[in-house]
Structure 1
Amino acid sequence: MIQNDGAQVVGQTAAAIEAFLAGRTDGSRRVTLRPLSSRDQSEFLELVGTSVDLHRPWMSLPFTPQEFQAYLTRYEQPDEESLLICVRDTGAIAGMVNINSIIRGRFQCGSLAYAAFPPAAGQGYMSEGLDLVVRYAFEQLRLHRLEAQIQPENHASLNLVRRIGFRKEGYSPEFLFVDGAWRGHERWAITSSMIEIAPTDPHPTLPER
């Protein structure tokens, strides 16, 4: 893995998001995207603290300043991105989407994890935000495939990926260690050919054949 300065990586992500959003002319969009940064610590931790019942047992987010700093360091790596979904009018954080374990070459794939935060949860912001992230990943990062691993009982998450256009590819027992045990997950995915996106050149790491 190429080692980059964390601030430089965050700056590159911010520039990529800005370039992506600049090309979108939909004035009805209620949300925007930006990378997670150190200045978000207080608001992020407060939101996590008020979201425990909403997120458990599906996922675990940093709960202390120390955990937040370790989390931030992870997403300062070039193969990981943590994006905040923010209300366009106010800038308030409505949710987050992480693009994890980005693999280039013949795969061109990333794995998604996401969460909504109250009081914005239930207002459709996550649907709009996740749709933006998917298009950002395909058009700006030039990925070909995004995956989401979801526990079968997490109906809100399953409904969300269905709305965006993901397809179910199967079920894997004992797939991820979540909430103290190995949990089975449904595997959902979407590729750049499944939705209409802006024309993009292949990523330079994709082989010609």
Structure 2
Amino acid sequence: MFGSALFRRDYPALEGAKVFLRMPAAEDYAAWAELREESRAFLTPWEPVWSHDELSRRAYRQRLRQYQIAYEQGHAVSFFLFCKDEGNLLGGITLSNIRRGAAQTATIGYWMGERYAGKGAMFDALQCVIPYAFDTLRLHRLEAACIPSNQRSVRLLEKAGFQREGLLRSYLCINGSWQDHYLYARIVGDTPIGR
């Protein structure tokens, strides 16, 4: 576990060449809601159906509570990505489904605001999150799944050293329908990113 009511570590913050990552906070609501709303059409094909109040302040507060509980129970770590230079919110990345015991694994998921996509920020974020997962959390394996037609995500994962392990049929309900996904994985000790 990452913490408890009696012993609580500081929430993690990571820094890359282009981005700064930290856990989401209440004061991020306006920037988050604006970025998600303006990127809705861009994100919709790759995400579960948004609820009717997806971008409401109340839904955001619930999301923050879920992030905090998952972190404190050792199940997930959620980050927002910010531009190091301007400080604006770019997107988010999460280590979820953290499994201990014999597995020592987690799943990586991410999203990026449309206007920031394709500029290297998510790759920079992965360069921060992967060592954090292996060195700090002491995980052995990271998994990521993406829809085969999401070529941006396929390129990102492969550039970050993830290897395609197979096709997961009808894996997740995305945009209202069950979608096949490629399964990618990266194991501790795999060739470092950028080599």
TM-score range, shorter chain: 0.7 to 0.9
Gaps of 5+ in 1: 198-209
3-state SS in 1 of match to 2:61: helix
Is the CA contact 1:83–1:97 (under 8 Å) kept in the aligned structure 2? yes
Are 1:103 and 2:103 an aligned pair? no
Is the CA contact 2:164–2:185 (under 8 Å) kept in the aligned structure 1? yes
| AA at the equivalent of 2:165 | E
Structure-1-length-normalised TM-score = 0.79
Are 1:74 and 2:72 an aligned pair? no
Instruction: Provide the residue aligned with 2:55 in structure 1.
Output: 63
Matches for 1:1-209 after TM superposition, within 5 Å:
4=4, 12-14=10-12, 17=13, 21=15, 29-60=17-48, 62-76=54-68, 77-78=70-71, 79-196=75-192
Quick check: 49-58 or 160-169, which moved more? 49-58
Is the CA contact 1:80–1:102 (under 8 Å) kept in the aligned structure 2? yes
Is the CA contact 1:168–1:186 (under 8 Å) kept in the aligned structure 2? yes
Identical columns (%): 28
> Displacement of 1:3 after TM fit?
8.8
> Displacement of 1:81 after TM fit?
1.3
Tell me how far apart the structure 1 counterparts of residues 2 and 132 of structure 2 sit (CA, whole Å). 22
> Displacement of 1:179 after TM fit?
1.4
Is the CA contact 2:161–2:192 (under 8 Å) kept in the aligned structure 1? no
| AA at the equivalent of 1:97 | I
Q: How many matched pairs?
A: 184
Is the CA contact 1:147–1:188 (under 8 Å) kept in the aligned structure 2? yes
> Displacement of 1:119 after TM fit?
2.7
3-state SS in 1 of match to 2:58: helix
Gaps of 5+ in 2: none
Tell me how far apart the structure 2 counterparts of residues 119 and 151 of structure 1 sit (CA, whole Å). 21
> Displacement of 1:4 after TM fit?
4.1
Structure-2-length-normalised TM-score = 0.85
